[in-house]
Amino acid sequence: MFKNLPDYVEDPILGLFDAYRADSRTRKVNLGIGIYCDEDGRVPVLASVRAARERLDGAVPSIYLPTEGLPAYRHAVRELVFGDTTADLQERVVTIQTAGGTGALRVGAEFLASTNAQPRISMPAPTWVNHQAIFQAAGFEVSHYPYCTPDGRFDIEGALAAMRDLPAGAVMLLHPCCHNPTGIDPSREQWERLLDAIAQRALLPFFDMAYQGFAEGPDDDAWAVRECVRRGMPCLVASSYSKNFSLYGERVGALSIHASDLETAKVLGQLKVVVRRSYSCPPAHGAALVAAVLEDDALNAQWRAELEGMRQRMLGVRASLHALLAAELPDVDLSFLLQQRGMFSYSGLSTAQIDQLRSRHGVYVVSSGRVCIAGINASNIAQVCEALVDVMGRTSEPREQITRISSPA
């Protein structure tokens, strides 16, 4: 039985995390998986979240949540994602709680596939390693639009040209902030051109917002989503609270669907059908924490300040890394470190250089060249620099153009 199964191909991010954990060297640095660590190298427990936990502990019996999730959480998330874009949000938006941002993408993909016999999606090249697999598993035909110019900017002309080949109703996958893996985001003016073209071609934007607050702040980072709503355009939003609440293991996510003429009861019903047959209902604890923080004015303000602290620390890491490397590699253009936003920096390191970083220096970087700069701190930055200088100095290979598609094998 089960003799003819294909060999398992490790996920490029989770497999690397396993390899890091199994590495017995004490001097090792994890710059692979997207997890924010503080200056002490620890995954922080936010004080606002701890306070919410103290309030809730013992008070929440562990019963099944409704299929669509905790009402207070759904309400709080809707406000965080959409702000006060319109007075009648409740009639235009359905938000459900999901098992992480991944769960939101999968539920959204299945929901869309149930409404379209030949679902199509175009996603950035490169994009998060799991996007393609999620949409293919739901029956989508996947294509890619170019994302970066050779000089490391958002490729607005390439993206617009690729959209011209898409039929009406096709989905455009968009990262509203802190693009994973490149850290390169469209400017506001470029977003406006993208949204104009999406509306003209009757495409459907599906935003994957996993890093709200890590680029400019929670409201600015949701600008593209909110602009869509202000224009009355339909859209889907997968949001995750793993990173900005530091609640990775709790699997706290949400899926929101917006349309100016949304039949909310019907949409909610069909989302419940998808959830019920997948995992029945979402996990309770993390969502209760997020709702408790967001709904309390003092905790909400404290969380925003903590989020700002994380954002500032990452900016500081970028500046320090840039200064240290520039001193050692004066002929290398390292400006990408300062221009890219959020947790990730797309280094353009070659596969050989990435292998050397790991084998010689115990520095783990995703094979696409994505470096999680949120894993760098004052104690390991010298080791990281030494390793980068070693592999970048050893070879005369130029930085690769940052246009490789990061997708599962």
Residues that bind ligand LMR (CB under 6 A): 13, 33-34, 128, 180
In the complex, least distance from residue 306 CB atom to ligand LMR, rounded to whole angstroms: 20
Q: Which CB, 13 or 314, lies closer to ligand LMR? A: 13
Three-state SS string across the chain, please?
Answer: CCCCCCCCCCCCCHHHHHHHHHCCCCCCEEECCCCCCCCCCCCCCCHHHHHHHHHHCCCCCCCCCCCCCCHHHHHHHHHHHHCCCCCCHHHHEEEEEEEHHHHHHHHHHHHHHHCCCCCEEEEEECCCCCHHHHHHHCCCEEEEEECECCCCCECHHHHHHHHCCCCCCCEEEECCCCCCCCCCCCCHHHHHHHHHHHHHCCCEEEEEECCCCCCCCHHHHCHHHHHHHHCCCCEEEEEECCCCCCCHHHCEEEEEEECCCCCHHHHHHHHHHHHHHHCCCCCCHHHHHHHHHHHCHHHHHHHHHHHHHHHHHHHHHHHHHHHHHHHHCCCCCCCHHHHCCCCEEECCCCHHHHHHHHHHHCEEECCCCEEEHHHCCCCCHHHHHHHHHHHHHHCCCCCCCCCCCCCCC
Of 332, 362, 328, the closest CA to residue 349 belongs to: 332
3 catalytic per annotation: no
In the complex, least distance from residue 60 CB atom to ligand LMR, rounded to whole angstroms: 27
243 catalytic per annotation: yes
Q: Which CB, 284 or 374, lies closer to ligand LMR? A: 374
In the complex, least distance from residue 128 CB atom to ligand LMR, rounded to whole angstroms: 5
Q: Which CB, 33 or 338, lies closer to ligand LMR? A: 33
In the complex, least distance from residue 377 CB atom to ligand LMR, rounded to whole angstroms: 18
In the complex, least distance from residue 127 CB atom to ligand LMR, rounded to whole angstroms: 10
Q: Which CB, 251 or 399, lies closer to ligand LMR? A: 251
272 catalytic per annotation: no
Q: Which residue is nearest to ligand LMR (CB)?
A: 34
Among 155, 208, 221, 303, the one annotated catalytic: 208
In the complex, least distance from residue 179 CB atom to ligand LMR, rounded to whole angstroms: 11
Q: Which CB, 180 or 239, lies closer to ligand LMR? A: 180
Among 155, 185, 243, 303, the one annotated catalytic: 243
Q: Which CB, 137 or 298, lies closer to ligand LMR? A: 137
Residues designated as active site: 128, 208, 243
